[in-house]
Structure 1
Amino acid sequence: MKMTHKFHPISPKLPVLMHGADYNPDQWLHNPQVLEEDIRLMKLAGCNVMAIGIFAWAALEPAEGTFTFEWMDRILNTFAENGIYAWLSTPSGARPAWMSERYPEVRRVEANRVRNLHGIRHNHCFTSPIYREKTAIINTKLAERYGNHPAVIGWHISNEFGGDCHCAYCQDAFREWLQQKYGSLEALNAAWWTSFWAHTITDWSQVESPAPHGEYMVHGHNLDWRRFVTDQTVNFCKHEIDVVRGSNPALPVTTNMHLIEGLDYRKFAEILDVISWDAYPTWHEGQNDSQLGASIAFYHDLFRSLKKKPFLLMESTPSLTNWQSVSKLKQPGMHRLSSLQAVAHGSDSVQYFQWRKSRGSSEKFHGAVVDHCGHEYTRVFKDVAELGATLSNISEVIGTTTPSDTAILFDWDNRWAVKDAQGPRNMGIHYEETILAHHQAFWEQGVPVDVIGSEDDLSSYKLIVAPMLYLCREETGRKLERFVEQGGTLVTTYWSGIVNEHDLCHLGGFPGPLRKTLGIWAEEIEGLYDHDRNGLSMSIDNQLGLTGTFESHEICELIHTEGAEVLGVYTDSFYAGQPALTVNRFGKGKAYHMATRLKADFLQAFYSKLIEQTGVARVMNSYLPQGVTVQVRTDTSTEYVFIMNFSGQTQHISLDDRDYTLLESNETVNGVIDLPVNGIVLLKRPAKEV
C-alpha cells in the first residue's frame, strides 16, 4: 500500500474544508433576533466558520479604555454550542473616530503631504507609535479573552493591507531603512544615479518619499520606496502577530491578501502560518469565461506558491459585487465552478464576503449569502447550501499538494520596475497580460504551474518561464544559468536582463546576466503602435517542428545570436529576416528567447512542443477543448482530478485510460464525461507508481 503525504489541517478543531463568510454581528446588535436567525441559517447553508470582528473596533472599544466584549462573548459562545468556528480578526483595518480626533497623527498623510480626515479603511499610519500602542492594547485584550476559546481556530490579522503614509514618522523610518541598506550617502547616490539632473543627496535629511510635487522620476528611489512600504507594512503585521501569539501560540495566523499592486506578498509569507486571499473576478464580461478563468487560476497558483502548501480563499462573492464597473450576477453553475476552482488549485476553504447584506453604507448591495429579505428561499442561498454539501463530502482533499514540473517567474520588484521604466511602449507594455498569457497556455493544456520568485529554489522544476524579466539581479542570472546548465529548460522574452536591483541598466550589452545562458545580444528594442503588426516566420526544419507564420505585436527586439540557434525570423520592417525566436543549448539544458510579443496561437503551439520535449506532466492525457481545463491535487497515494468548463458551451471530455471514480460517490466512471455550461466534475484515481 502506498504511503500518503499531506499537510495537517490548518486547524485541528476543523479537519474538514472550511466554508463560511465575513460576519459582522456588530452591525446588528440592536436586533438580537437577526443574530439568532443567523445561527439557524449558517447551519442550513453548511457553513462551519466565520471571520468575525474585522471592522469591529468601535463596537469593542467605543471610548478610549472602555471595552465592551459582552456581545462578542455571546456570539463566540453560541458558535461553540452549534459547531461553528471563527477566524477572530484584529480590528486595525478601520480605527474608531475617537482615536482620529484625539490622536491626529494616526491619520495618514498622502504623497501630497496633506493629512487625511477620519474615514474609509486603512487610513492609518503603520509607523505611528500611538497607532501601534492602541493596536497592541486592543489585540492584547482580544488574545487574553479569546485566545483559548473553543470556537476560535485562528487569527485573521487586520484586512487587506494596502496603501502608504508620507508623514514625518514615515519619512524618518524611510531614511533609517535606507541607511541600514546602503550604509553611506555615496552608496545611495550611486544606487539611485542621482547625478542625473544634479539630484545628488548631500545629507540624509534631504531624502523624502516620492511626491507628485517633488521627486518622482528617480526610478531607484521609487523602487526603494515600494520596498520600504512593504517592509514597514510587514513589520506592522508582525507587531500585531507578536501581540496575539502570547495567549495561544498554537493558533495559526493569516491576513487576507487582495491588492497585488503595492505590496510584495512574498515578504508576508515569511511571517504568516497560512496564506489567504480575496478573489473577485468579473465573471460573464465576455463571450465566455475561459480567459478570466485562466487569469484567476494564475492568482490561485501565485498565492498557493507563496508557501508551497494549501491556502485559504478567504473572500469571494456568492453572487455579485457592488463596486465593479458592471456588477453581473453569477450565472447558474458559476458559483460552484468558481468556488471549486479555488479548491482545485490548492485552497482548503471557500469563504465569502459577506454573510448578511449590510443595511446601509457602501457595501449594502454587495453580494451575500443572506439577502435583505432575510430568509433562505433565494437562488444564491440555495447555491451556497449545495456547495456546502459538496465541500462536506470531499474533505479528504484537505492538506493535499498540487505538484508541478513547471514554474512562472514573477517578482514584485520586477513588476514595479517594468511599470516605472519609461521604456519602449509607455502606452502599455502589458506586463501582467503577458504573464497571464504564458500561464494560460499551460492552463489550457491541463499542466499545473507554480508561480515563483527569483529567490525560490529552482531545482524541482523541468521548465521555467520568465516573461519580461526586466529587473534581473546578477545572482538571478547565475541561478538561471545553473538551472539550464544542469538540464532545465528556460524561456525568456524581450525586455529581459535590462536592469539590476537598483533599476540601473546592465552595462556590456543586454540581456545582461542572461546573455551567456541565452546565447544572444539584444541591440535595440522597438515599441509598436496598436495598429502596427509584425510576424514570426518559422525556420525550415526547426527543432521544434513548428511551421508557418505567427503574428506579433507591441514589442520587437532586435537581437544577434552568440551561439544560439535561430528558430524563426521577423517577417516585416527593416529588420525582416533577423532572429525573432532562438534556442541556446547550454550545458545539459536549453534556453529559449522570444524577441517579440506573440499571441495565444503561437504560445499554445510553442508550449505544447516544450511540454513534449521536457516531459512535463499533464494532469490527463486527453484532448481538452478551448475553455476546458483540468487540475490535480494529491497525497501521493490518491490523485484528485478537477475537470472545469469555462467555455460557455456544453462540452464532452474523453477520459484517458486511468482508473477513475467520482469523488463524492466513489462510483466508477470511464469513457466520455459530459460537462454542462459552467460545469465541473470531481474525480479521483490512484497515483502513478514513481
Structure 2
Amino acid sequence: MTQHAPIFPNVRGFLHGGDYNPDQWLAYRDVLEQDVKLMREAKWNAVSLGIFSWVSLEPEEGVFTFDWLDETIERLTKAGIHILLATPSGARPAWLSAKYPEVLRVGPDGRRNRHGGRHNHCYTSPVYREKVRIINRKLAERYAHHPGVIGWHVSNEYGGECHCPLCQEAFRAWLKRKYKTLDALNHAWWTPFWSHTYTDWSQIESPMPHGEMSIHGLNLDWKRFVTDQTVDFCRHEIEPLKEVNPSLPVTTNFMGTYPGLNYWRFRGVLDVISWDSYPRWHTHETLVPEAVHTAMVHDLNRSILRKPFLLMESTPSVTNWQAVSKQKRPGVHVLVSLQALAHGADSVQYFQWRKSRGSCEKFHGAVVDHVGHANTRVFRDVQAVGEMLEQLAPLAGAGIDAEAAVVFDWENRWALEDAKGPRNIGMHYEETVTAHYAALWRLGVPMDVIDEEQPLDGYKLVVAPMLYMVRPGVAERMRAFVEQGGTLVLTYWSGIVDENDLVHLGGFPGPLRELAGVWAEEIDALYDGERVPVQTVDGNPLGLAGTYEARELCEVVHLEGAEPLAVYAADYYAGMPAATVHRVGQGRVYYVAARLDEAFLRDFMARVAAEAGVRRALAADLPEDTSAMVRSGDGVEYVFLMNFTPSPKELRLDGASYRHLYGEAPVDGTLVLPAYGVSVLQRPAKGR
C-alpha cells in the first residue's frame, strides 16, 4: 500500500483555501479585517497569495513596497492559515511594457501586442527574465523562511507563444541542437514536398498563417519548442527561490488537457503538480460526462509524479467565462470536491476568496459574494467541504495503486490533429481516450493516465487509443509488457507516423503491426450520421455477443496471427475484422479497428479488465452513473462512493469489513447514496 510523505511537512491533513487578492482591497480596511474571520468560519487553512500583485510590489522600476504583504502574511499566520506565496510573472505592470517593449509578445501574424491581458510576455526576452529574477529573488529573501509560507506558487497558468525575433532565433538554436545539420532537418521534415527545402538556418520561421504551415514536422517541432521554452522559463523563475530556501516546495497550476503545452515536460522542475478544474457541470441530465473527464484529468495530474497533487483552483459556484455559467446544484460542490480527493488530490482550493468589485472576473464565483457575509448557500457549501476535510485528514498522503493505465499523449495529439485526413472535421482524439477511460471508470477501476514514454511495469492492463505517433522505444516496451503477461488494447489509426511525423513504411500499424497481429490496409472515413453495423463472431474468446455500431472511422484490417472478435456487417469490408485479439508470450493484444459505440466499449472493456485480473475499488456491480475509487494508506484503504445523479442510488457492498470514515451510520451490506451524494468508507488493506 502506498502512503506518501506530506506535501507540506508542517501541514496536517488537506489544504482547503484558494486565491486571495488583498492588494485589490487595500483601500478597504474593513474588508481586509473581515477576511481572516470569515476564512476561519469557512474552515480555510491555506491561501494562494500575490498571484497578480507585481505592480503592488514594484509600482515603479526598482521601487519595492512590501508593507501590505508583510501585514497580510502576519495576519494570516497568526490565524493559522498557511500561505502558498506566488511569483507575479503571470501579468506584468504597465511600466515594464512601456519601458521595455521587447517583453511584449508578437503574434503569428507578426504584430507585436500592446500592453494588457495575462501572459502577454515573451518567455525568451532577457529583459523579462531579468525583471522576473529580481522580483522573485526579493520575495524569496524576504519570505522564504517565514513560518507561515509553506511553498511557492510559481506564476499562473502558463500558456501561449511568442513569434518575435528573439523567439525565432531561439527556435533556430533549438533546432540546431536537435538536428545538427540542415540535411537531417530537411529529411525529418520531408521538405522536398512543394520544394520547401531549407538551404540556410536563417530561412526557418515559426508556423504562421501568412507563411509556412504545411510542413508537419515544423509544426510539431514548434509546439515542442514552445513547451521547452516555457519549461525553461519556469526553471528560471524557480532558481532564485531555491537558492534562498531549497527545501520549500514549488508548484505551478496546469490547465487540464490544455493543448498548448506538454505538461509531462515539467517533471523534474516542479516538486508538486497542481491544476485548475472548471468543468461545465449540469450540461446533461447527470453529471457523468463532466465527472468522467474530470476524473481522467485528476488521474493524469496524479500520474505525472505518481503521488498526490493539488487541486489549485475550482469554483465554489460558477465561472463567468463559460458559454453558460450555471450554478452548482445543492450537494454538487461537496461531491465534486471529494471526487478530487478520491483521485489523489491533497487539497481543495478555489478561485477565488472574494468576488472582485470590478474588471473582467467581477462575476466569477467566489466564497464571499458581493454581499460580504457568510449567510449564503455557497459559503455554507464551502464550510461543509472544510468540515469534511477535517474529518478526512487521516487519509492525506494516501496513494492510489493502479493496475490499469490509459495513454493520453500530447505529442501524439499534436501530430494527429495536424494530419490532414482522414476526417478533417474532427478526429476526436481526446474524446476517444475519454470514452475508453469511461468504460473502466464505470467499473470502478483505479487508473493512471500516462504518456506513451512512461514505463509499463506494475500494470496489468494498458489502453492506448489512437496511438498515431509511435516514438522510438515505445513498441519495444509494449512488446515486453505483453510478453510478460500484460494486456494491451490498441485501436485504429495507430502506428502511422514516427517522432518526426514521417509515415512508417512497410504497412500499418507500423512498429506495432507484428505485436497486434494485423495489417491495416486502409481506413474509411464516415460522414457524421453514417453508421456501419459490427457483428460479434460466434465463440469469440471474450464471449461478446450482439451487434454494435461503428461511426466516423472504420479500418480495413487483415489478420496476421490475430483472431477476430467481431466483423463488419456492411459496406465493401463486410466480413472483415472489426476487433481482434492476438496472443503474444504470456499476454494479449486487443485491436479495435473502428470507432465503436459506448455499448461495445462497456461490454468489451468489462471483459478485458476481468480477464486481465485488474482490481476494482469495489468488487461489486455499481449502479448506473455512480463511481468508486480507492486510496491506500498504511494498512488501510479508503473507498469513495459517488453518485453523480439527482436521484438516490442503492449499492451492495462486497462483503469486506467497512466502516464510515466520517458520520455515525453503521455500514451493513447495502448503502444508499443520496442525490449527488458521496460516502467515504474505510476497510483493512488487502495484501497485493
TM beyond 0.5: yes
Residue among 79, 103, 106 paired with 2:103 = 106
- 1:346 equivalent in structure 2: 344
Residue among 635, 638, 661 paired with 1:637 = 635
- 1:190 equivalent in structure 2: 187
Distance (whole Å) between structure 2 residues aligned to residue 533 and residue 455 of structure 1 = 34
SS in 2 for 1:537: strand
Instruction: Give 2:288's aligned amino acid.
Output: S
- 1:211 equivalent in structure 2: 208
Q: 1:665, CA displacement in angstroms?
A: 4.2
- Range that drifts further, 466-475 or 153-162: 466-475
**Structure 2 residues not aligned, in runs of 5+:** none
Q: What TM-score, normalized to structure 1?
A: 0.99
Distance (whole Å) between structure 2 residues aligned to residue 345 and residue 473 of structure 1 = 29
User: Identity rate of aligned residues, in percent?
Assistant: 56
- 1:267 equivalent in structure 2: 265
- 1:408 equivalent in structure 2: 406
- 2:235 equivalent in structure 1: 238
- 1:447 equivalent in structure 2: 445
- 1:616 equivalent in structure 2: 614
Kindly indicate whether residue 490 of structure 2 is the aligned counterpart of residue 492 of structure 1.
yes
- 1:509 equivalent in structure 2: 507
Residue among 518, 523, 526 paired with 2:524 = 526
Describe the superposition over 1:127-156 as per-residue Cα deviations: whole angstroms up to 9, x where unpaired.
Answer: 000000000000000000000111100000
- 1:574 equivalent in structure 2: 572
Equivalences for residues 589-608 of structure 1 within 5 A: 589-608=587-606
Q: 1:423, CA displacement in angstroms?
A: 1.4
Whether the 8 Å contact between 1:473 and 1:513 is mirrored in structure 2 is no
Instruction: Give 2:294's aligned amino acid.
Output: I
Q: 1:5, CA displacement in angstroms?
A: 4.7
Kindly indicate whether residue 174 of structure 2 is the aligned counterpart of residue 177 of structure 1.
yes
Whether the 8 Å contact between 1:474 and 1:513 is mirrored in structure 2 is no
- 1:124 equivalent in structure 2: 121
Residue among 59, 70, 74 paired with 1:77 = 74
Residue among 9, 14, 37 paired with 1:12 = 9
Describe the superposition over 1:233-273 as per-residue Cα deviations: whole angstroms up to 9, x where unpaired.
Answer: 00000000111111111100000001521000001122100
Distance (whole Å) between structure 2 residues aligned to residue 475 and residue 179 of structure 1 = 23
Distance (whole Å) between structure 1 residues aligned to residue 442 and residue 546 of structure 2 = 22
SS in 1 for 2:617: coil
Q: 1:474, CA displacement in angstroms?
A: 3.7
Instruction: Give 1:169's aligned amino acid.
Output: L
Whether the 8 Å contact between 2:455 and 2:477 is mirrored in structure 1 is no
- 1:656 equivalent in structure 2: 654
SS in 2 for 1:110: coil
Kindly indicate whether residue 93 of structure 2 is the aligned counterpart of residue 92 of structure 1.
no
Instruction: Give 1:568's aligned amino acid.
Output: A
Distance (whole Å) between structure 2 residues aligned to residue 645 and residue 22 of structure 1 = 29
- 2:48 equivalent in structure 1: 51
SS in 2 for 1:205: helix
Equivalences for residues 270-669 of structure 1 within 5 A: 270-665=268-663, 668-669=666-667
Whether the 8 Å contact between 1:312 and 1:348 is mirrored in structure 2 is yes
Residue among 135, 138, 142 paired with 1:138 = 135
Q: 1:308, CA displacement in angstroms?
A: 0.3
Distance (whole Å) between structure 1 residues aligned to residue 267 and residue 570 of structure 2 = 46
SS in 1 for 2:514: helix
SS in 2 for 1:501: coil
Alpha-carbon RMSD across the aligned residues, in angstroms, is 0.9
Distance (whole Å) between structure 2 residues aligned to residue 682 and residue 293 of structure 1 = 17
Kindly indicate whether residue 156 of structure 2 is the aligned counterpart of residue 159 of structure 1.
yes
SS in 2 for 1:208: coil
Instruction: Give 2:476's aligned amino acid.
Output: R
Q: 1:107, CA displacement in angstroms?
A: 0.2
**Structure 1 residues not aligned, in runs of 5+:** none
SS in 2 for 1:347: coil
Q: What TM-score, normalized to structure 2?
A: 0.99
Instruction: Give 1:264's aligned amino acid.
Output: N
Instruction: Give 1:470's aligned amino acid.
Output: Y
The count of aligned residue pairs is: 687
Whether the 8 Å contact between 1:626 and 1:647 is mirrored in structure 2 is no
Distance (whole Å) between structure 1 residues aligned to residue 278 and residue 439 of structure 2 = 22
Instruction: Give 2:401's aligned amino acid.
Output: P
SS in 1 for 2:208: coil
Whether the 8 Å contact between 2:2 and 2:400 is mirrored in structure 1 is no
Q: 1:660, CA displacement in angstroms?
A: 0.5
Distance (whole Å) between structure 1 residues aligned to residue 25 and residue 175 of structure 2 = 47
Distance (whole Å) between structure 2 residues aligned to residue 642 and residue 85 of structure 1 = 27
Q: 1:42, CA displacement in angstroms?
A: 0.3
Instruction: Give 1:47's aligned amino acid.
Output: W
Q: 1:493, CA displacement in angstroms?
A: 0.5
Describe the superposition over 1:198-224 as per-residue Cα deviations: whole angstroms up to 9, x where unpaired.
Answer: 000000000100000000111110000
Instruction: Give 2:614's aligned amino acid.
Output: V
Distance (whole Å) between structure 1 residues aligned to residue 341 and residue 524 of structure 2 = 42
Distance (whole Å) between structure 2 residues aligned to residue 582 and residue 623 of structure 1 = 27
Whether the 8 Å contact between 1:528 and 1:555 is mirrored in structure 2 is yes
Q: Structure 1 residues 292 and 5, CA, compared in 2 at 3 Å: closer, same or farther? A: closer
SS in 1 for 2:163: coil
- Range that drifts further, 472-481 or 356-365: 472-481
SS in 2 for 1:246: helix
Distance (whole Å) between structure 1 residues aligned to residue 35 and residue 677 of structure 2 = 30
Distance (whole Å) between structure 2 residues aligned to residue 304 and residue 595 of structure 1 = 30
Whether the 8 Å contact between 2:2 and 2:401 is mirrored in structure 1 is no
